[in-house]
Amino acid sequence: MERFGRQVVSLLLMLFVVALVAACGQGGTAEAPAGDEAAPADESTDTDAQDEAAESAVEDAEAPEGEEPAAEEDAAAPEGEADLLSAVQERGTLLVATDSNYAPQSFKNPDDTWEGFDIDVAREIADRLGVEIEFLDISFDVVTAGSWNDRWDINVGSMTVTPERQESLLFTSPYYYTPAAFAVHADSTAASIDDLAGLTVGVGAATTYSDYLEGGLTLVGEEILTEAPAAAIQVYDTDLLAIQDLSLGDGARLDAALTALPTIQNAIDEGQPLKILGEPVYYEQLGVALDQSSSLDPQTLADEISRIVEELRSDGTLTELSNQYYGVDITTKTE
């Protein structure tokens, strides 16, 4: 009985030892040193992906411009500069500078509406361009100086084409040809242009008339027909102011005035006491002017207006307007 008891105790001790060893084995596995742990497989994969993404970003940043996607190239490309004709058509309005002090070429009625040969020619040009028109009342000397700073598109103001003006302005083909002539008071005793030597002649500022009297006029396609008299020159803001002073009396302020023959005839028709002296001293080719310093290329608009001018000439519109305002057709060159 005693021996049986010792056997039971021994058996219990063995079971205890086995249980203790098993427990120690499990604890060793759970507490393995961190240095012996294997790096997780997915951590290595994520690091490689990040490195590849970073390298790709660097390569994209350093790629030359020529290798950029086409869409980016289009966005970065500067817009093409438009020409003046396209700009006028897109705007829908043609801005025309002219001087209101030049009847019957361009003047304002009491109700502030525009009228005149130049005015109607400009309206025809705008109509055939398919746009509206807006007139700006600008002094002739300001227009001829050029450098308009895009304040208007064209000038339709009976401007004579000269080499000096061509340095800053671009001209269309001529839309009419006008003679330059001397006017004297109805009481004047001057019988010829030579009789004006030593007398005072009035002219408009920045005109070919003052250039002619100063001996410095050069024309395009025309010739000086009569040598200028050695007269004193009185410059006015406009030709019409000279005409007005001449009308005050023979020698009162002026002895003569030099301007376009139609301007003299219009003044006579309105009752001013004037008469034409001698024959025209030269003929002028008059064209539509554009500013060469325009921020937009004016050549296409000039070419299109030249085409319209020839169309107006061939369909009789210019002749009709000339007869309406001048009583004679001066829209074709006199040989």
pLDDT, tens digit, 9 for 90 and up, residues 221-261: 999 999 999 999 999 999 999 999 999 999 999 999 999 99
Give the pLDDT mean for 153-177.
97
pLDDT, tens digit, 9 for 90 and up, residues 104-163: 999 999 999 999 999 999 999 999 999 999 999 999 999 999 999 999 999 999 999 999
Query: Which architecture, in CATH terms, is 178-285?
Result: 3-Layer(aba) Sandwich (3.40)
pLDDT, tens digit, 9 for 90 and up, residues 122-135: 999 999 999 999 99
How far is Cα of residue 306 from the mean position of the Cα atoms in its chain? Answer: 17
pLDDT at 81: 52
pLDDT at 3: 45
Give the pLDDT mean for 24-30.
43
Instruction: Specify whether the CB–CB gap between 262 and 178 falls below 8 A.
Output: yes
pLDDT, tens digit, 9 for 90 and up, residues 253-287: 999 999 999 999 999 999 999 999 999 999 999 99
Nearest CA among 232, 331, 315 for reference residue 283: 331
Instruction: Specify whether the CB–CB gap between 321 and 327 falls below 8 A.
Output: no
Neighbouring-strand partners of residue 15: none
In CATH, what number does 84-177+286-326 get?
A: 3.40.190.10
* pTM across the whole model: 0.72
Query: Where are the CATH 3.40.190.10 domain residues in the chain?
Result: 84-177+286-326, 178-285
